[in-house]
Structure 1
Amino acid sequence: MRIFDTTLRDGEQAPGNAMTPAQKLEMALHLEALGVDCVEAGFPASSPSDFEATQRIARAIKRSRFATFSRTRRNDIDLAVEAGGIENHEVQMVATGSDIHLKYKRGITRAEAVSEVATAVSHAIALGITHVSVGIEDASRSEDRFLRELTETAVGAGATCIILADTTGCMVPQEYGDLIAKIRSWVPEGVRVSTHCHDDFGLSLANALAGLEAGADEVQVTLGGIGERAGNTPMEELAAVLSYKGGHYNLHTDIELSEMYRAYTALRGMINLAEPRNKPIFGTYAFGTVAGIHQQGILSNPATYEYVEPENFGRERSLLIGRHSGRSILRHLLEDLGAEVNENTLHDIYRRHVADRQGSDCEDLSVLRKRLEAEVRDRPAELSTTL
């Protein structure tokens, strides 16, 4: 299945995420190196900055395809082609897909929305674009008859991909899977069906997976899940699921797992995004633990508490010390230092370094190791050592 990355468009347009053209080019090259199938460069008609970013990315991208975002307006499409040319360029245009958007945002009828799609797709084809995708905005709140008319009109005019946007993140997986299945049954073989899911219920990944099971060929993602409101389907979570559960879905991607965290770190630096503690794959402590029971298991065999392995994602496991840690980690450190202690001495060290810790902060294992090294050095009579 294909990965379409919208970090530089949907992700970048969200509050706090703005990037310069130079930064967008740098990120586009990171994304291409990860192996994404298509990098969305931006919305050229929206600003001179997006126009310039598209120019730079179009010249630099070689292995991946690049895409632009347009409204169903000739001028938007003209500017997209002016910025990016026609080679290796996917023109993505957004169709108005629900009555609530028609009435309150656009002030047009269903018939006018359908006519816009036919005209816009035909115009892009006439300009020489061979990859034309139509994203149906708010498809999750559309009505079947209207949705089918939009879809069949787009395909009839030459669209090569239909994108179903759960724009408000209002669907649950069964609903979204059913939506994708309908579209898959309405379009001919060879026309891609793509997911675009938002995370307002925390279900963007689950909905995208349901879409794949229902016949979608492509998932639109962002690095770290950034995007409007609660964000989009996170690339790293989708890639992780398909790496470990690809056999279940009979699908795979070519994403380079081990380089994703490096790319995410670069992205965070550009947009000044704090690293969350508990985010899957990318969280500070996604592969860390302070709990004694967990540490005891991990020291014996990491598989006891790790199904997702940190080294596959360019991460390292971290065992931290806090008041929830146990004696196992102390034994491990002391043995590593060549020290042998009896139970009374171990209890004393545990009380002073672990149990009596104030507050909820934890510290890295290396900090405790240095303190224990000092004790082994300063208390040789009590801490029998082979050092």
Structure 2
Amino acid sequence: MRKIDIFDTTLRDGEQSAGINLNTQEKIEIAKQLERLGVTIIEAGFPASSPGDFDAVNRIAGTVKNSIVTGLARCVQKDIDTTWEALKVAEQPHIHVFLATSPIHMEYKLKKSPEQVLEQAVEAVKYAKKFFPLVQWSAEDGFRTDRQFLVKIIEKVIEAGATTINVPDTVGYASPQEYGELFKFLRENVNGAHKVKFSAHCHDDLGMAVANSIAAIQNGADQVECTINGIGERAGNASLEEIGVAMHIRKDIYEIETGLNLKEIKRTSQLVSRLTGVVIQPNKAVVGKNAFAHESGIHQDGVLKHKETYEIISPALIGEEEVDLVLGKHSGRAAFRDRAVKMGYELSDEKLNKAFQEFKKLADRKKEITEEDLITLLTDQQVSVEDIPLFELKTVQVSYGTENIPTATASVITPEGELKTLAATGSGSVEAIFNTLEQLVNGKVNILDFGVKSVSKGRDALAESVVTLRYNGFTSTGRDNSQDVLAATAKAYLNAINRHLIQENIHGTRQIANV
């Protein structure tokens, strides 16, 4: 079978989704999980875009060994230099440089002629090749680019040393027939096409990203670029799990091998959803909670008689397996550790003990501990940052009545170790909590988004709260969980503030605490 490389851009294009803001530790954990999943290339970020992105790309490059790590760069020497500094520690240094080539982008965005764009692309690839053995060049908005110009510029960047050519459908405009035909055309008309990989990168503005990606593969693409859960700019990118499973289930017609460890798909999807705060729609193909649910009596009857009557994908294929060991309030540390290891978590003894303590507290309150509960508890410990002093919520209490003004009182340990007790009112319980905790920092905190959802089922389910706020020009998203919605909200708010502290600590500009 023909091998197709899977290029995952969850940490770059995926993180560009509105409302997503991952810290370095979270990016490292996602990268490690992508490595377990078996992706060929991990696009870890855009090093020149911010110190935070540089730090994340650099640390991922030094951590991941079994997947190639790459970083995005404009066709500018400064970007390429910065990307080299971030990636020179990688096992196989790889850079992804891009430049827009469509008439509308060249005229209105770049304000350059086609000749100037061609010259800039060639010079950038030549310069990148001085440092990187693997150079991917992308024709941004490639699908809407004049074909003769596209052939010409691709030939020139191949001569300059490019090893991969990416022709993206940047705005999700193509149909599968058109996009597939473009790759066939390039394969047949570009001199030197046999020397490079061709890569497809599709956006989902018209709901065609996966179909277009598969059409490209069928017409000569050697690599497909995608994200976990299909997250990304605007309507998102092609969904990795859909492409990977489709290639496997229909290998009879595609005759493609991806190298993915499909049993890691479910966990990867849940990890990305948890850390980004982007909920997976219930009817999402492959990983949605209804993907293997059967409501219709006819369907239920068929599945009971033979699963393949209505299930073309086995839950076990993507790691959706039943675990025989039941965890509850009488379970011990050994059983808890065993489950954590089987679920793929690598935790230090200290972090495992903290997760176990939280598990025991939860088990005392809940009749049934679900897989979702465990993922929440273990992920919280896996992405925690131990060496930076942060705010810690000790208690929160809200006084509320339909005839009274909601009042929140909170006790918080500051990063300096001081216990502070604060109180404030609000038009509702949540606003009262926000107003109370805002007193911990210098200045106004703007709440950009707030949401609460159930992690698992039942009246005793964990509630997960997500708070996105903006402070001093920095946007951060905090998450936490509790059986009490208001406690989860208070902890999520502090989690967002702590993310701000972490970033300021990394960059040496810590000014946030009002202590």
With normalisation by structure 2, the TM-score equals 0.60
Query: Structure 1 residue 166 and structure 2 residue 169: aligned?
Result: yes
Alpha-carbon contact 2:154-2:165 (below 8 Å) kept: yes
Q: What does 1:173-322 align with in structure 2 at a 5 Å threshold?
A: 173-185=176-188, 186=190, 187-315=192-320
Q: In structure 1, how many angstroms separate the alpha carbons of the residues matched to 2:310 and 2:249? A: 16
Structure 2 match to 1:121: 125
1:35 aligned to which of 30, 35, 38: 38
Q: What does 1:12-51 align with in structure 2 at a 5 Å threshold?
A: 12-51=15-54
2:6 aligned to which of 3, 6, 11: 3
Q: What amino acid sits opposite 1:56 in the alignment? A: R
How far residue 97 of structure 1 moved from its aligned partner, in angstroms, is 1.3
Aligned-residue identity in percent: 38
Q: What amino acid sits opposite 1:281 in the alignment? A: V
Q: In structure 1, how many angstroms separate the alpha carbons of the residues matched to 2:239 and 2:63? A: 25
Alpha-carbon contact 1:138-1:166 (below 8 Å) kept: yes
Structure 2 match to 1:134: 137
How far residue 315 of structure 1 moved from its aligned partner, in angstroms, is 2.1
Q: In structure 2, how many angstroms separate the alpha carbons of the residues matched to 1:221 and 1:188? A: 23
SS of the residue aligned with 1:120? helix
More RCO (CA 8 Å, sep 6+): 1
Q: What amino acid sits opposite 1:279 in the alignment? A: K
Q: In structure 1, how many angstroms separate the alpha carbons of the residues matched to 2:194 and 2:229? A: 32
Extract unaligned runs of 5+ from structure 2.
Answer: 323-455, 459-515
Q: In structure 2, how many angstroms separate the alpha carbons of the residues matched to 1:280 and 1:300? A: 23
Structure 1 match to 2:360: none
Structure 1 match to 2:335: none
How far residue 96 of structure 1 moved from its aligned partner, in angstroms, is 1.2
- Structure number with larger C-alpha Rg: 1
Of the structure 1 ranges 211-220 and 296-305, higher mean CA displacement relative to structure 2 is found in 296-305
How far residue 84 of structure 1 moved from its aligned partner, in angstroms, is 1.1
User: What is the RMSD of the two structures over their aligned residues, measured on CA atoms?
Assistant: 1.6
Query: Structure 1 residue 88 and structure 2 residue 92: aligned?
Result: yes
Alpha-carbon contact 1:151-1:183 (below 8 Å) kept: no
Alpha-carbon contact 2:68-2:91 (below 8 Å) kept: no
Q: What does 1:298-377 align with in structure 2 at a 5 Å threshold?
A: 298-315=303-320
Q: In structure 1, how many angstroms separate the alpha carbons of the residues matched to 2:210 and 2:102? A: 23
Of the structure 1 ranges 159-168 and 287-296, higher mean CA displacement relative to structure 2 is found in 287-296
Q: In structure 2, how many angstroms separate the alpha carbons of the residues matched to 1:188 and 1:207? A: 21
Q: In structure 2, how many angstroms separate the alpha carbons of the residues matched to 1:184 and 1:95? A: 21
How far residue 291 of structure 1 moved from its aligned partner, in angstroms, is 1.3
How far residue 273 of structure 1 moved from its aligned partner, in angstroms, is 1.5
Structure 1 match to 2:101: 97
With normalisation by structure 1, the TM-score equals 0.80
Q: What amino acid sits opposite 2:154 in the alignment? A: T
Of the structure 1 ranges 244-253 and 189-198, higher mean CA displacement relative to structure 2 is found in 244-253
How far residue 190 of structure 1 moved from its aligned partner, in angstroms, is 3.1
Q: In structure 2, how many angstroms separate the alpha carbons of the residues matched to 1:310 and 1:207? A: 26
Alpha-carbon contact 1:13-1:228 (below 8 Å) kept: yes
Alpha-carbon contact 2:229-2:280 (below 8 Å) kept: no
Q: What amino acid sits opposite 2:67 in the alignment? A: S
Q: In structure 2, how many angstroms separate the alpha carbons of the residues matched to 1:306 and 1:144? A: 42
Structure 1 match to 2:502: none
Q: In structure 1, how many angstroms separate the alpha carbons of the residues matched to 2:94 and 2:111? A: 28
Structure 2 match to 1:69: 72
Q: In structure 1, how many angstroms separate the alpha carbons of the residues matched to 2:264 and 2:54? A: 28
Q: What amino acid sits opposite 1:196 in the alignment? A: H
Alpha-carbon contact 2:65-2:91 (below 8 Å) kept: no
Extract unaligned runs of 5+ from structure 1.
Answer: 318-362, 366-387
Alpha-carbon contact 1:287-1:316 (below 8 Å) kept: no
SS of the residue aligned with 2:195? coil
Q: What amino acid sits opposite 2:283 in the alignment? A: N
Structure 2 match to 1:147: 150
